[in-house]
Every structure is written in C-alpha cells, then in structure tokens.
Amino acid sequence: MTAKLIAIGLVTGICNGLFGSGGGTILVPAMVFLLGIEDHKAHATAIMVILPLSILSTIIYYIGSFIDWPTTLRVVSGGMVGSFIGARIFNRIPAYVLRKIFGAFMIIAAIRMVF
C-alpha cells in the first residue's frame, strides 16, 4: 500500500510541476478508484496534499521569474472568495452529483486543451 501511495504522489507531483495541476486531475480519481476513498474525502484530501506541492512549485517558478504578479494577485483575490464558497457548499452536494460535476469539468478541460 505504501508503494502505491508514493507512486500516486510521484505522478501527482510531476503533473503539478509540469502542468500546474495534479490535485484534482490525478489525485482525486486515483484515491477514489485505486484506493477506494469516498469522493468527499478524496476531494478534501487532494486539496491538502496539493498545498505543499504547489508551494514547492511556486518557489521554483518564482526563482525562475515565471510568475505574472499582477495577474496572480487578481486571480487569487477571486479564487479565495470562490474557495470559501465552494468549501461551504461542498458537504451539501451528494457524492454521485459531485462525481458527475467533477467528471464534466474534466471532460470540458480535456476538450479545451486538445482544441
């Protein structure tokens, strides 16, 4: 089990470093389908796991001068409000609905990335 968890973390970390994603796109499906973790716990755990990964990636991006600060500050201000709202309504959404919403976002994102 430990090797599986480390492998999931490794893939998640690589995706986070390369693409700026991994918590939702890799970690949530891995926890739900490979580890059997309940959807709500998988989403919440992914947020917690992605925090240190994002901090590390941010430091590396900062050192490389890759951050657009004006854009970052504007997006963060809206993102923090959105995160608060999302976290507050999270428990009110049944797992099967949460899975469908998450799947729809994944499909839309995939289509946008390809085209």
Q: What is the mean pLDDT of residues 6-25?
A: 85
Of the listed ranges 18-22, 29-33, 41-45, the least confidently predicted one is: 18-22
16 band by pLDDT with thresholds 50, 70 and 90: confident
pTM: 0.81
13 band by pLDDT with thresholds 50, 70 and 90: confident
pLDDT of residue 22 exceeding 80, the answer is no
Tally of domains in the chain: 1
pLDDT of residue 23 exceeding 80, the answer is no
3-class SS of residue 98: helix
- Rounded mean pLDDT of the chain? 92
Q: Is residue 43 within 8 Å of residue 29, measured between CB atoms?
A: no
Taking each continuous run of H as one helix and of E as one strand, the counts in the chain are: 5, 0
Other CB atoms within 10 A of residue 43 CB: 24
Q: Give residue 74's domain range.
A: 2-114
DSSP 67: -
